[in-house]
Amino acid sequence: MTGDAAVWLIALATVAAMIGRPFRLPEYVWALAGAALAILAGLISPRLAWAGVLQGDNVYMFLAGMMLLSETARREGVFDWVAALAVDWARGSRTRLFALVFGVGVLVTAFLSNDATAVVLTPAVLAVARAAKAPARPYLIVCAMVANTASFILPISNPANLVLYQDQMPSLVHWLLRLGPSSASALAVTFLMLRWTERGDLTGEMAARMAVPRLGPGGWTALIGLCVTCAGLMIASGLGAPLGPPTLALGAATAAATLIRRRESPLPLVGAVHWSILPLVAGLFVLVEALQQGGAAQALAQGLDAASAHDGLAAGATGILVALADNLANNLPVGLLMSKTLNAAHAAPRLIDSALIGVDVGPNLSITGSLATILWLTILRKEGQEMSYARFFAIGARVMPPALLAALAARALVGG
């Protein structure tokens, strides 16, 4: 077996193990095992592996800050408060609750990242569905799919966005002009297709009222912290500054403010954060570095160069191919590899944006597609819920392709 083939085999086996969790070991163990195997097999040197890990510093800080914010908001009851309000506003209508959950998911994803939607909103929505005596599946599916589809509303909505653009992140104005129509199109199609797909479970009545918990001083502190963080990240994005450091600083400050008010030790809060996401991402960074050393990025760049004479066609094809690749190898390593590929090919903005659309919308086809979906599946398992690969794929096959095509068509119409 050639070195290139061995790296691809290890990468695919790693993602498969992360999904299947042999021996019930957590996902990050398999990500690190795949990286270690690549090093031991001589497919990448320890020095280059470490360089690959260090490339993710901005992503690690962004994730750490968002997880601190999300856990603080969860502990202070912010998400339960929002979810209870949604049930109250639904007034006994499953369809209205579906629309409200979708809307809340869009807001959480846009301003807190898709991982926050998967990790924090999912258990809150499950609790709401149980209290409302409504089938949980339609609302849980919304959490997974809106986490991906809404993840390119803003640069901060998905860590994969930071990975793909690296140091070439567009300003906020340019982002909205280039990708705003695509995001709106993808969200509209996703909502309509999910509403149609889940129509059977959205008929009938449910509990019309739910006690809305009181949001205490700590909750308001966390909510204000969330708003300040969102404003700070919007400013940083508008200036083209890295998003990791301000996210970590503001997340830590919000957590500290609530802890000081309560005079509590930080250990319980810190212990509740899903820190295993960080070594999982680091392991994927190493595997992508190994793939690059094997010439994968250069080969893909040559293909993009050959297609550049047909810019519109190349952009659409790139988005579709990236979307399919997400579901084989997860969108985070695919985004990393595409970042290196597009940089080597000196790709036009339209091509980069189409790749981003594929990275963010494509994962809705299968559970393997994104880190957020894997986290969502982990949360479901902890809550005693099951979602098979086949069932998710059956829904994703109806929802993802039209949403992807709508987004790519909208980006083509914008031009540039």
60-115 pLDDT, tens digit each: 898 899 889 888 988 898 877 877 787 788 888 889 889 999 998 999 899 878 87
Sequence-separated (6 or more) residues with CB below 8 Å from residue 38:
7, 10, 44, 49, 286, 287, 290
- Round to whole Å and give the CA distance between 349 and 242: 19
Q: Domain span at residue 132?
A: 3-414
Asked if residue 382 has pLDDT above 80, the reply is: no
- pLDDT band of residue 310 (cuts 50, 70, 90) is low
Q: What single DSSP character describes residue 118?
A: I
Give the residues across from 205 on adjacent strands: 93
At 125, list the tokens.
């929505």
DSSP state of 205: B
> What confidence tier does 14 reach under pLDDT thresholds 50, 70, 90?
confident
CB 237 within 8 A of CB 154: yes
- pLDDT over threshold 80, residue 303: no
User: What contacts 154, CB < 8 A, 6 or more positions away?
Assistant: 110, 111, 172, 175, 233, 234, 237
CB 346: neighbour CB atoms within 10 A?
11
Q: 308 exposed, middle or buried (CB, 10 Å; 0-12, 13-18, 19+)? A: middle
**Residue 256 above 90 pLDDT?**
yes
CA 262 – CA 254 distance, rounded (Å): 13
For residue 93, the SS3 value is strand
Is the distance from CB of 352 to CB of 181 less than 8 angstroms?
Answer: no
| CA torsion, ordered 282, 284, 285, 288, to nearest 10 deg | 170
Residue 387: per-residue pLDDT: 86
Cα 225 to Cα 143: distance, rounded to the nearest angstrom? 23
pLDDT-based confidence at residue 252 (cuts at 50, 70, 90):
very high
DSSP count for the chain of H helices, then E strands: 21, 0
* Contact assessment for residue 284 and residue 332, using Cβ atoms and an 8 Å cutoff: yes
- Of the pLDDT bands very low, low, confident and very high (cuts 50, 70, 90), residue 281 is confident
Q: Based on the structure, what is the number of domains in the chain?
A: 1
Residue whose C-alpha is closest to residue 251's, from 59, 68, 60, 58: 68
**What is the C-alpha separation between 225 and 219, in angstroms, rounded?**
10
The pLDDT assigned to 305 comes to 55
